[in-house]
Structure 1
Amino acid sequence: MLSSDTIAQLAEELAEADRTHSVIPRITARHPDATVEDAYAIQGVWRDRNLAAGRRLVGRKIGLTSKAMQQATGISEPDYGVMFDDTVYDSGADIPVDHFSNVRIEVELAFVLKTPLAGPDCTLDDALAAIDYAVPALEVLNSHIELEGRTIVDTISDNAAYGAMVLGDVHRRPDEVDLRWVPGVLSRNGEIEETGVAAGVLGHPATGVAWLANKFHQHGAHLEAGEIILAGSFTRPMWVSRGDAVHCDFGPMGTISCRFV
């Protein structure tokens, strides 16, 4: 495993890249023996520094939960990161493209918990019972590590490439809609670029919530009531640039739009 000094140094590199909206060389190119545990340690140092600076944690993102995303990245293992309050946008928002690096959009569902959720044997039924409601979401990817050749270690270290999320207006309890069949039709500047259904995320999008609760148990933690859990994309990421207008139709769950300025 990496030394605590190296972990702290890499966390500072990523913090500086976040501040300057720049990209650093792959961690695994410089430290080929770095492990997944090292990566979460780097993310943890970065997270704690942000909390100490006054940012407020509102939830967690899960990534790489669908075949579409695994094939797009070449990474076959889910991961997770943290989401702060200043990264949440409402549908219709103007989003400053300069705040991010390697900017892409993913189509997801988010879940808000009404009760805490803990492993080690959390099931899909347990997750559904803990969820207050589902809401459609778009994730803005923000990659501070060069993309070519990156591994799960690089991605986790970089807060699982999370930048921001845009939330829709329609809330549905898990018993009100078959979440597996919620569609996503993603358009850029009026042209459809990606489509998918939420079942592409581990067979049911809430399965990721159960996975995260079990993963947290390994670190002696659990998910709290009120947290937002971004469950993972069921489309490939779509690149966006300044001036792009993004729209996604979630069928019975409504629509989301945003513009990059």
Structure 2
Amino acid sequence: MNETEIEKAASFLSQSRLGGPRTSLLPEELVPQTETEGYAIQAALHEILALAGYGNLVGHKIGCTTEVMQKFLNIDHPCAGEIFRSMVFLGEANIQLSRFHRIGVECEIAARLGQDMLGEKGPYTRESAAAAVGSLMGAIELVDDRYENYALLNAPTLIADDFFNAGVVLGAEEINWQELNLGAIDGVLYINNCEHSRGVGSDILGHPLEALAWLANHRAGLGRPLRAGTFVMLGSVVETVFFDSPAEVSVLLEGVGEARVKFV
């Protein structure tokens, strides 16, 4: 794709995020065919959203890090997106359903970085990625089904639009997490105070910090390394749950923390 096509595709995708109707299929000539093209459109889309008032980029998301989500979306590898400051809620949130096309939630661990991940010593591993983590948080990813039929979209197109991301709710930061066996912790999603679904940390690429290592290596390869102070959503341990009516949602990540959101 050339620069003009990338900008046109980004403009097309921005409409559903700026008050327009659900996104239909991109015109054939604007459909990204590779992940490289998808990430190029994503970068152009971020410029549009920043100018529209979304604020600075302050965090990252990793999609499709678990078998359940890979099966759900029929994609067999992780994908990355970014999160704007205006899309971040702390602790708990009250959110109007009318702000979204069709809101959904995921149960996640978020990692706040205590140092840059420049990749100067070679590819990151789970162990070396752990050294960069300043704190962990229980978190809810807010996702928006802003497509007429997402099943018809290829992976590069989903990448271009930040893989459904519509915001996050971050719980309190846990700085004494180092003794936790993150691969064994339970993550539970509650709806209206009743357990709906649960997963385990090892569902995320075998260990949650494998996801962080993947993203750090991906970003270093792009020449845009992860920076201290930003946070990373490491992936959902449960299948996405969508809502069409008011509900109260909470997640509990064993030893890490919790987060809450009320849809009204």
- TM-score normalized by the length of structure 1: 0.92
Report the Cα offset of residue 28 of structure 1.
8.2
Corresponding position of 2:61 = 61
SS of 2:250's equivalent? strand
Deviations 1:102-122 (A, max 9, x none): 321111100011110133511
| CA–CA separation in structure 2 for the residues paired with 1:214 and 1:258 | 32
Q: Give me the identity figure in percent.
A: 27
Corresponding position of 1:74 = 74
Corresponding position of 1:34 = 33
1:16 aligns with 2:18: no
SS of 1:181's equivalent? coil
Corresponding position of 2:2 = 3
1:205 aligns with 2:204: no
Corresponding position of 1:143 = 145
Corresponding position of 1:110 = 110
CA contact (8 A) 1:144 1:158 kept: no
| CA–CA separation in structure 2 for the residues paired with 1:186 and 1:32 | 35
Corresponding position of 2:231 = 228
| CA–CA separation in structure 2 for the residues paired with 1:141 and 1:208 | 19
Greater shift in the superposed pair: 141-150 or 66-75: 141-150
| CA–CA separation in structure 1 for the residues paired with 2:21 and 2:231 | 27
Corresponding position of 1:156 = 159
CA contact (8 A) 1:193 1:238 kept: no
What amino acid maps onto 2:167 in structure 1? A
Q: How many residues align?
A: 260
What amino acid maps onto 1:78 in structure 2? P
What amino acid maps onto 1:8 in structure 2? E
CA contact (8 A) 2:96 2:263 kept: yes
Report the Cα offset of residue 33 of structure 1.
6.3
Residues 209 and 251 from structure 1, CA distance in 2 versus in 1: closer, same or farther, beyond 3 angstroms? closer
CA contact (8 A) 2:14 2:45 kept: yes
Deviations 1:17-72 (A, max 9, x none): 10115321233866566221111111000112333455111111111011010011
Aligned to 2:168, which of 165, 170, 195?
165
Report the Cα offset of residue 243 of structure 1.
1.1
Report the Cα offset of residue 206 of structure 1.
1.3
Report the Cα offset of residue 136 of structure 1.
0.6
Residues 137 and 14 from structure 1, CA distance in 2 versus in 1: closer, same or farther, beyond 3 angstroms? same
CA contact (8 A) 1:132 1:173 kept: no
What amino acid maps onto 1:165 in structure 2? V
Residues 117 and 170 from structure 1, CA distance in 2 versus in 1: closer, same or farther, beyond 3 angstroms? closer
SS of 1:94's equivalent? strand
Give unmatched runs, 5+ long, in structure 1: none
CA contact (8 A) 1:245 1:260 kept: yes
Dislocated runs of 4+, deviation >6 Å: none
CA contact (8 A) 2:32 2:38 kept: no
| CA–CA separation in structure 1 for the residues paired with 2:4 and 2:36 | 15
Corresponding position of 2:97 = 97
What amino acid maps onto 1:158 in structure 2? D
